[in-house]
Amino acid sequence: MSLPSLKLFRIWRVYLRSISQWMHTNSERMRTTENVFMIGAAIIIGTLAGFGAIGFRWLIHAIQDLSHPDWGGTLDSIMQIPWYYKLGIPAAGGAIVGPLVYFGAREAKGHGVPEVMEAVALRGGRIRPRVVVVKSLASAISIGTGMSVGREGPIAQIGSAIGSTLGQLFKVNTRRLRTFVGCGAAAGIAATFNAPIAGALFALEVILGGFAISWFSPIVISSVVATVISRHFLGDIPAFIVPTYTLVNPSEFVFYGILGVLAAFAGVAFIKILYFTEDYYDGIPIPDWAKPVTGGLLIGAIAMAYPHILGVGYEAMDMALFGDLAWHTLLILAAAKLVATSITLGAGGSGGVFAPSLFMGSMLGGAFGTGVNHYFPEISASSGAYALVAMGAMVSATTRAPITSILIIFELTNDYKIILPLMITCILSTLISSYLLKPSIYTLKLNRRGIDIHKNQETNILRSLFVSGARSDKFETVQPQATLDELLVKLAGSSHTEFYILGESGSLDGVVTFDDIRNMLMHGDTPDGAILAYDLARADFPTVTDDDTLDRVLLLFGRHNVDEFPVVDTENRRLIGVVDREHVMNAYNREVARRDLAGEVSSMVSSLGHDRVVELGQDYAMVEIQAPSRFVDRTIRQLNIRARYDVQVLLIKKLDTTGTSTHFVPGPDYLVEKEDILLLAGNNESIQRVRNV
C-alpha cells in the first residue's frame, strides 16, 4: 500500500472511531426525539454510503489499472490486448475472489441484493459489518478484472451493510434497523446512478417491499445526501450518455408495446439461465472457492471475440444508444452478456445483475429499433430511443420493480417525453414476466433456499396468526322454532348481528343474520308466527376453524357482508366460538406490539456475551443460557417453564452458519432445539435453578 493510501486509511479509521465514540455518548440523548434521531442517522448513513460508493468506484479503477494499463480504456485499446491477457486476467480475478468470499463472508457471493432482502425479512436488518469489506473487495476485483457483472448491486449491499452496522452500534430496535438498511441501499444506488429519486424508490420497492411513511423521509434524506456527495466528487453527470428523445408518431406506442413483450421474454430467459448455471456449477465436484477461476477462463474466451462484455459494459451501452452497432452485433452481444453474467455469478463471482440487465436491454432495444426504423422510417424514432426504453423494460422484467426502472431512465434523460413509452414497456414487461415466472431474479434465489420473505413482512403478519388465538367463546344462539317477533326482541337486546341454531350435540345447523331479518321485514307479508328462525337460517353460511389463519378470515370478510364468522370443530362441526373484525385487528395489533418489543429487547441484549447477566434491580435479572438438555425436543407449553421455575422465556436466539444471530418470541408450540439460546427473566435464584437442570 502506497504512503498516501496508508495515510488516508489511518485518517478514515480515526474518523470512524470518533464517530463510534460520539454515537455511544449521544445516542440516548438523541433517541428521546424520534424525528431528530432518524434524520441525523439518515444524514450519517447517506454520507458514509456516498463516500463508500465513491471509494468502491475508485477501487474498481485501481484494480483495472493494476490488471493492465489499458484494461480500463476504450474498447479499441482492449482489443489490442494479447489474447492471453484477455484469458488470464479474469481467471486471476476469480482465483482471488473465490477464497476471499468463501473464507471471508459467503453472503458476499453473487449479486448481493437477495442477501439484503433476507436480512431485512428474517434477521431484522442485521448484516455482519465484515460484509462491507469483503463485498467491496470481491466485487471490485470481479469487475476490475473483467468478470461480467455490475457495480450497482454490490454498492446497494455495501450501503445496506453500512446502515445495518450503524444501527447495531446505536442498538436500535428492529423497525429502525430495517429503515437504516433501506437508507444505506438508497444512498448507494443514488450515488451510483446520480439518481436520488430512483435510489429511494429502489430501497422501498425492492429492499423493504413497501412504502410506509415512517420509511420514506429518512430514506429520501440519505439518498439526497449521497447524491450531493457523489456530484461533488464525480461531477453532475449521468451514468450514461443518452441521445435526445422524440416521439415521432403516436403509432410508435404499438412498437413500444411489442418491445415490452420481447423484454419480458428476455428477462425470464436471463433469470432461468442464470439459476440453471448456478445449479450446474453446484454439481461440479471441485471446491467452491476454486470455481470462479473456471468462470474467469470462460469469460476470457468469450471476450476474445466480444470484449464488449468485460466488466460493467457502459461504453458498449453508449454505442447501442447512439446506433453505432449493427443489429446482428447487438443481438450477439445481448446473448453473450447473458451467458457471461450467468457464468460469472454461477461460478461464484461477486457483482450485480442491474447493469447486465441494462446492457441486455440496450442491445435488444437497439436491434429492435433498427428493424422498426428500417421498415417504418417516417413514423419511428432512432434505434437509440428504443434501446433507452428497453433498458428500463429489461430491468423491470428481471427485478419486478417497474417504478424504480421508470424513474432511473427518467432521471438519466431528464426528459419528460420519454415517460409515456417508458411506462408502457416497463409495465407490460413486468406483467408478462410475472405471469411467465412469478419470482423476480432476487426472490427466486431466496425461494430456492426455502425462504418466502413475504411471509415475514408486517403487511402479511396475519398469515402467522390463527383463529384459535383470536376467537371469542361468546355468541348468541336461538331455538329453531323461535318466531320472527322473538328474533326481533333478541336482536334488540344483543350486540351481535348473527344468531346460531345448534343441533343436539352442539353442531351448527344454521345461521340467522340481521340482513335476513331485515329483508323479511321489508319484503315479507306473512301472518304473525308463520315465519320461524329455521325458515330464515342459512345452512351454507361460511365457517372457519381454529387452524385457519387470520389472513384467510380477512379475505372472507371481504367476500361476505357479515360481521362475524362461526368457528367450528373440524370433526363434528360443533360451534366453539366466533371471530369478528375487531378480534382480527386486536390480534394483529398485539402481534405487531410483541414483535416490536422483541426487537427492543433483542437490541438491548445483542451485545451480551454468552451467559452474561443484566441486573434489573431487586434481585431480578435477564440472562442468556444454552437450552438445557431436558428442554430439547419439547415445546414451551410442555415445559411450562414459568410455572415450574418462576422464570419467563423472553426470546429465543439462533445462530446461522455465518454466525449471524436471529431473535424471536417463541409461541407455546415452539419446539426447543439443542442449539437454541434462551433469554430468561426472573429472580436470580430461579434462574440458577434453570441453569442446574
Predicted confidence (pLDDT) per residue in 311-341, tens digit = 788 888 888 888 888 889 899 999 999 999 9
Query: Is residue 77 pLDDT above 70, yes or no?
Result: no
DSSP-assigned states of every residue in 29-69? HHHTSHHHHHHHHHHHHHHHHHHHHHHHHHHHHHHHHHH-T
Q: What is the pTM of this model?
A: 0.67
Q: Please, are residues 302 and 339 in contact by the beta-carbon 8 Å criterion?
A: yes
Q: What is the pLDDT of residue 115?
A: 81
Instruction: Tell me the CATH number of domain 606-691, given options 3.30.930.10, 2.40.50.140, 3.30.70.1450, 1.10.287.3510.
Output: 3.30.70.1450
- Of residues 599 and 324, more confidence is placed in 324
**What's the rounded Cα separation, in Å, for the pair 520 and 537?**
12
What is the predicted pLDDT for the residue at 605?
A: 54
Q: How confident is the model at residue 18 (pLDDT cuts 50, 70, 90)?
A: low
CATH number of the structural domain 467-584: 3.10.580.10
Identify the CA nearest to 321 among candidates 235, 421, 413.
Answer: 413
CB 314 within 8 A of CB 61: no
Query: What's the pLDDT band for 160 if we cut at 50, 70, 90?
Result: confident
Would you place residue 236 in the very low, low, confident or very high pLDDT band (cuts 50, 70, 90)? confident
Return d(Cα 614, Cα 677) in angstroms, integer: 15
Q: Is 89 exposed, middle or buried (0-12, 13-18, 19+ CB in 10 A)?
A: buried
Name the band, by pLDDT with cuts 50, 70 and 90, for residue 570.
Answer: confident
Indicate if 467-584 has the same CATH topology as 252-285+307-453: no
For 573-585, the pLDDT digits (tens) are 888 888 888 888 8
CATH superfamily of 252-285+307-453: Clc chloride channel (1.10.3080.10)
pLDDT band at 691, cuts 50/70/90? Answer: confident
Return the percentage of the chain with pLDDT > 70, whole number: 82
* Whole-angstrom distance, CA of residue 445 vs CA of residue 450: 9
Q: What angle do CA 38, 400, 424 make, to 5 degrees?
A: 110
The pLDDT of residue 443 = 85
Q: In this predicted model, what pLDDT tens digit does every residue of 340-376 receive, in sequence order?
A: 999 988 888 888 888 889 999 999 999 999 998 888 8
The grid coordinates of residue 278 equal 448456478
Domain ranges of the chain: 41-234, 252-285+307-453, 467-584, 606-691
- Give residues with Cβ within 8 angstroms of 421, minimum separation 6: 247, 252, 253, 256, 385, 389
Please give the mean pLDDT across all residues of the chain.
79
Give the CATH fold of the 41-234 domain: Clc chloride channel (1.10.3080)
pLDDT in tens, 378-391: 877 888 888 989 99
